[in-house]
Amino acid sequence: MITIYCDGASKGNPGPSSIGIVAYIHEKEEFRISERIGETTNNVAEWSALKKGIEECISRKFDSIHAYMDSELVVKQVNGKYKVKHPNLLEYKKEVDKLISSLHSFQITHVPREKIQSRINSQTKPFENKKLL
């Protein structure tokens, strides 16, 4: 099983946004992604981070994923506890659900922002020298 920590952020809402993902196998870093994703909302950035993290795991032939995010909204929407009402977010939900359906196992857990920050910001600088994620 691979463990991924995913985060998305928007400077303004909407505004310039970025995603950060770091993946571990048995506490050894497997990969790290930091990307600007253009002008969007914080919620879209969070969904984008999760989608990109799952896609990267699949491309590397991992089929069991445990994702951690600080976005309670995304975690509860993925788990079906909250409905996705916004059409833009609904599209992300459908895409993520399709990716998840191709996996052997998938879990997503909400964690405090500090835990995500410590994993992602240890080396990743999504906005170069500006600590956004």
Q: What pLDDT digit, counting tens, does each position of 101-118 carry?
A: 999 999 999 998 888 887
> Nearest to residue 117, comparing CAs of 1, 4, 7?
7
**Domain-embedded: residue 127:** no
Angle at CA of residue 32, ends 26 and 37, nearest 5°: 145
> Sorting pLDDT into bands at 50, 70 and 90, what band is 71?
very high
In this prediction, residue 127 carries a pLDDT of 44
Q: What is the CATH number of the domain that holds 109?
A: 3.30.420.10
**Domain-embedded: residue 131:** no
Domain count, the chain: 1
| Burial letters 37-62, b for 16+ CB under 10 A, else e | beebbbbbbbbbbbbbbbebbeeeeb
Q: Global pTM?
A: 0.89
Q: What pLDDT digit, counting tens, does each position of 77-105 carry?
A: 999 999 999 999 999 999 999 999 999 99
**Domain-embedded: residue 18:** yes
Domain of residue 26, residue span: 2-120
